Amino acid sequence: MNKLSVNHLLGIRYLEKRDIELILETATHFKEVINRPIKKVPSLRDITIANLFFENSTRTKLSFEIAEKRLSADILNFSSANSSVKKGETLIDTVNNILSMKVDMVVMRHPNVGAAEFLAKHVKAKIVNAGDGAHEHPTQALLDAFSIQEKHGDLKEKNIVIVGDVLHSRVALSNIFCLQKLGANVKVCGPLTLIPKYISSLGVEVIIDLKEALNWCDVAMMLRIQLERQDLKLFPSLREYSMLYGLDKELLDSLDKRITIMHPGPINRGVEITSDVADSKQSIILEQVQNGVAVRMAALYLLAGRIE
């Protein structure tokens, strides 16, 4: 089996386990390619990809762009901040105008939940969701799974805890789907005001105490507090949050075992994680970013295989 079962990468929810395994296996091959002196392959020559970013991004935007260049695709970069969206143009008009320039694939980040799915229903191009509101961020979860696998081997029965602002996190939801499909045990930890009420329906337990959660896990994914998505005050202060749910070196060194620390970025240093933890040998934060390129190359390459 060397084909994905889906035409678009909208969310991990829609992928089968074998799709995830295929993307991760293909990423292993591309990781080897991008570590060669000549990093470019002709796989997507004659394919045009538009990167549409309606919300800020550093890692995802640059990672997709370099992945596309390594695959020899032609690329268009669009950022809503300096576009005709500011003059009132709708999403569908914006995208149809871009597609009329003969675009084959669209990578889109959008602040609204379901934006990528909406596009997939209305346009002909293959759509890759680069993050839609607090919903899904599939390529982040895939690169996270790849990074864990690289460090710990098979994910089956590995214990992963996701810590912090799970309520507003598309990274958390995509990771829960992805890690569970690969056989890992997933729990979340944080103040109950930042944990979605439906979490138990996903088969995910909540651990309130951070030290207990860290002693349970092999890998801790620390999440950023997403103040930009919080209309209500869901915890008293950042200082109190960081006292109860921030990970510092003293806590890390007091654990029963040596765990791996991950963070999707951007980091609020001193809030969810201190600098000495983020920059420690137990942190694989920069490996996650590095692996993002190979994983995105794999996802784009496999989706291009579904272009008729």
Q: CB nearer to ligand CP: give 24 or 130.
A: 130
Could you tell me how many residues of this chain bind ligand CP (CB under 6 A)?
A: 10
Minimum Å gap between C-beta 79 and ligand CP is 13
Active site residue 137: yes
Q: Which residues in the 124-163 window bind ligand CP by CB under 6 A?
A: 131, 137, 140
Q: Which residues contact 134 (CB under 8 A, 6 or more apart)?
A: 113, 167, 168, 169, 170, 173, 226, 229
Instruction: Rule CB under 6 A: choose which of 5, 7, 35, 58 binds ligand CP.
Output: 58
Backbone angles phi, psi at 230, to 5 degrees: -105, 110
Active site residue 269: no
Q: Which residues contact 243 (CB under 8 A, 6 or more apart)?
A: none
Minimum Å gap between C-beta 265 and ligand CP is 5
How many C-beta atoms surround the C-beta of residue 182 within 10 A?
Answer: 18
Query: Interface with ligand CP includes 60 (CB under 6 A)?
Result: yes
Instruction: Rule CB under 6 A: choose which of 164, 190, 246, 264 binds ligand CP.
Output: 264
Chain centre to alpha carbon of residue 214:
22
Instruction: Rule CB under 6 A: choose which of 59, 69, 151, 229 binds ligand CP.
Output: 59
Reference 68, options 293, 303, 257; nearest CA is 293
Q: Which residues contact 211 (CB under 8 A, 6 or more apart)?
A: 251, 254, 255
Q: Which residue is catalytic, options 8, 26, 48, 60?
A: 60
Instruction: Rule CB under 6 A: choose which of 28, 43, 57, 72 binds ligand CP.
Output: 57
Coil, strand or helix at 273: strand
Element (H, E) at 250: helix 249-253
List b or e across 7-36, with b for residues whose CB sees 16 or more CB atoms inside 10 angstroms: ebbbbbebbeeebbebbbebbeebbebbee
Minimum Å gap between C-beta 143 and ligand CP is 9
Minimum Å gap between C-beta 101 and ligand CP is 25
Minimum Å gap between C-beta 289 and ligand CP is 8
The rounded radius of gyration (Å) of the Cα atoms in the chain is 19
Q: Which residue is catalytic, options 109, 110, 135, 263?
A: 109
Q: CB nearer to ligand CP: give 155 or 267.
A: 267
**Could you tell me which stretch among 95-103, 243-251, 258-266, 279-287 binds ligand CP (CB under 6 A)?**
258-266
Omega before residue 266 within 30° of 0, cis: yes
Amino acid (1-letter code) at residue 215 = N
Query: Interface with ligand CP includes 164 (CB under 6 A)?
Result: no
Instruction: Rule CB under 6 A: choose which of 265, 270, 280, 290 binds ligand CP.
Output: 265
Query: Interface with ligand CP includes 227 (CB under 6 A)?
Result: no
Contact by Cβ (8 Å): 179, 14: no
Q: CB nearer to ligand CP: give 53 or 241.
A: 53
Instruction: Rule CB under 6 A: choose which of 84, 203, 208, 266 binds ligand CP.
Output: 266
Taking phi over 0 as left and psi of -120 to 50 as alpha, with beta for the rest, 217 belongs to beta
Minimum Å gap between C-beta 77 and ligand CP is 14
Q: Which residue is catalytic, options 87, 121, 156, 257?
A: 87
Active site residue 60: yes
Q: Could you tell me the strand order of the sheet in which 74-79 lies? A: 74-79, 48-53, 105-110, 126-132
Active site residue 124: no
Q: Which residue is catalytic, options 110, 137, 168, 224?
A: 137
The residues annotated as belonging to the active site are 59-60, 87, 109, 137
Which residues make up the interface to ligand CP (CB under 6 A)? 57-60, 131, 137, 140, 264-266
